[in-house]
Amino acid sequence: MGLSMAAIRVSTLEILESRSTKILLAVECLKMGQKACTADSNGIFGPGNRGKNNFGTKNVGNDNVGEL
């Protein structure tokens, strides 16, 4: 996606090898006073997901981002 950055391992402050780290950024727009979404016990954000660590709607499997 054209984004190149180094990451730092927090426990040792070691700079990891360039481009060896994948990042994911999600933005949630909220009205004033509205509470942010939180993940459930399977790490899922969004409705209709099956699996673990999914972000979006109606994902099936693990570690998915997006909507079907």
22 and 31 in contact (C-beta within 8 Å)?
no
In-domain check, residue 42: yes
CA 58/CA 60 separation, integer angstroms: 7
The answer, yes or no, to whether residue 68 has pLDDT greater than 60, is no
- Our count of domains for the chain comes to 1
Distances (CA, A) of 14 to 6, 10, 57: 10, 7, 36
Domain that holds residue 48: 38-68
Question: Residue 49 domain-assigned?
Answer: yes
- What's residue 49's pLDDT? 92
Query: Can you say whether residue 41 is alpha, beta or left, with left for phi > 0 and alpha for psi between -120 and 50 degrees?
Result: alpha
Q: Is the pLDDT of residue 4 over 70?
A: no
Whether the pTM exceeds 0.75: the reply is no
Tell me, yes or no, whether 66 lies in a domain: yes
Q: Does residue 59 lie within any of the structural domains?
A: yes
Residue 26 lies in a domain: no
Instruction: Check residue 21 and give its pLDDT.
Output: 61
Reported as a single tens digit per residue, the pLDDT across 24-55 is 666 778 899 988 888 899 988 888 999 998 88
Residue 66 has pLDDT above 90, yes or no: no
Return the structure tokens found at 17.
């090898």
29 domain residue, yes or no: no
